[in-house]
Amino acid sequence: MGADRTFSIVLGTITVAINTFAIFLMLQMGGSSRSQGGRFYVAVGALVVFAVVDSQIKRFVHRFAPFTIGTSEPERRYALVSLVLGLLTAVTLLAAAWLLP
């Protein structure tokens, strides 16, 4: 198994953990926090955590192909997985912040 696939699995696992924790926090908020936009702050914070984790994993993927001039095939595959997971995370968290009771 290549490094890009391994790191894609790690990113997927971390994404599920971030989403689960953020939605758990949104469900546990009190009424005053919800009325002041607290859910959206949690969603944005979780997206920032996702971006930080993704950028660190992207650096690891780049280390396995250090002498290439352009982007290598593993970097392109990881970038696609990262884009899809990032969009899915953003849609999930913002929808949860908006639609949860």
pLDDT tens digits, one per residue of 24-59? 998 988 877 777 888 999 999 999 999 999 998 888
Q: Is the pLDDT of residue 1 over 70?
A: no
User: How confident is the model over 59-83, as a mean pLDDT?
Assistant: 81
Question: Is the predicted pLDDT of residue 95 greater than 90, yes or no?
Answer: yes
Tally the domains of the chain. Answer: 1
- Residue 15: the pLDDT is 92
- Smallest CA-to-CA distance from 98 within 48, 12, 26, 5 is with 26
- Which domain range does residue 46 map to? 3-99
pLDDT for 13 beyond 80: yes
Q: From CA 8, how far away is CA 58, in angstroms rounded?
A: 10
